[in-house]
Amino acid sequence: MPTQKILLTRRWPTEVEHYLSQRYDVTVNEHDTVLDPDALKAALRSYDAICPTVTDKLPAEVLQAGAGKVKILGNYGVGVSHIDLQACKRLGIAVTNTPDVLTDATAEIAIMLMLMAARRGGEGERQVRAHEWNGWAPTRLIGANVTGQTLGLVGFGRIGQATAQKAHHGFGMRILYHSRNRATPAVEALTGASYCHSLEELLETSDFVSVHCPGGAASRHLLDAKRLDRMKRSAFLVNTARGEVVDEAALAEALRNRVIAGAGLDVYEHEPRVLEAFMDLENVVLLPHLGSATLATRVAMGMRVAENLERFFAGLEPRDTVA
């Protein structure tokens, strides 16, 4: 009989839940609702492993409840800005994530948001559904080209590189990027990317700016009113990374005043709450955090968590340790 007790804080694909239940004493959050801090504290005191998602906020005060009991957090996702990693290190709690397997799915959403924002896809779909479309006209819903334009990437990890590759080879886009570390010449050649030494240079040059850097305190409001003002008036901003990277109030104001042409968002600073100021703006596309939402990707994410747990409980170093 399995001895390790594991909690999945949300429902996962059935295939993965079954796989884990054959190996561990698994509890699933059948209601599939976000656990509040008290529920998370109780879980941390009761389980050997917690498998959280981005919806689970795990600051130091919550994590402290699991001191001496919970051994590992097998995060279902790449980003871990919702987990206090320093507190985990101090408390001896291992943390893993799921890189690689959601790269292409998230890059696809970034490309989709670029197309929807530039070609005014959201506006057009709303017109059709509201029975407001009365036929083709030469000047109706005129948008902007994507093919051949300049794409600037803020952050150049796996997802940023995949987005660059799709945009460069699929749409003939010129690729710029800014990140803490410059990529290798081989990666730059594969993605057609050129390095910008400053974020400001990238913002001033790009027709599309796509955010791919990690979240957390270090990057909170990296794109604020001053930096949005550095963008072209014809430019579009896309965010599939973490909501806190963009100052949402500043972005709404920039969109309303046409400081930039448009935006496409898949993530928000206070999910699931979306800033009310966005709701009456036609030049922003709003998606409900769909980045990794394909069945194959979500199964692969779960199996990556399972692999990390198996290695950890076997006394081996997990493949994807982040703390």
Q: Examine the residue annotation and report whether 178 is marked as an active-site residue of this protein.
A: no
Please tell me which residue in 271, 307, 311, 319 is annotated as part of the active site.
271
DSSP 8-state secondary structure symbol assigned to residue 273:
B
Q: How far apart are CA 227 and CA 225, in angstroms?
A: 6
242 is catalytic: yes
CA nearest to 52, candidates 293, 37, 273, 64: 37
- Asked if 35 and 62 touch (Cβ cutoff 8 Å), the reply is no
Sign of the alpha-carbon torsion through 261, 265, 268, 274: positive
CA distances from 39 to 43, 73, 91, 287 (A): 6, 15, 19, 28
Rounded CA-CA distance 143/146 in Å is: 10
Active-site residue, 289 included: yes
Biggest distance spanned by C-alpha atoms of the chain: 69
Secondary structure in 3-state letters for 130-181: CCCCCCCCCCCCCCCCCCCCEEEEECCCHHHHHHHHHHHHHHCCEEEEECCC
- Among candidate residues 82, 212, 242, 304, the one labeled active-site is 242
Helices (H) and strands (E) in the chain, counts: 12, 12
Specify whether the CB–CB gap between 278 and 250 falls below 8 A.
no
Considering 158, 182, 230, 289, which one is annotated as catalytic?
289
Q: How far is CA 284 from CA 169, 183, 251, in A?
A: 26, 31, 10
Tell me which residues are annotated as active site.
Answer: 242, 271, 289
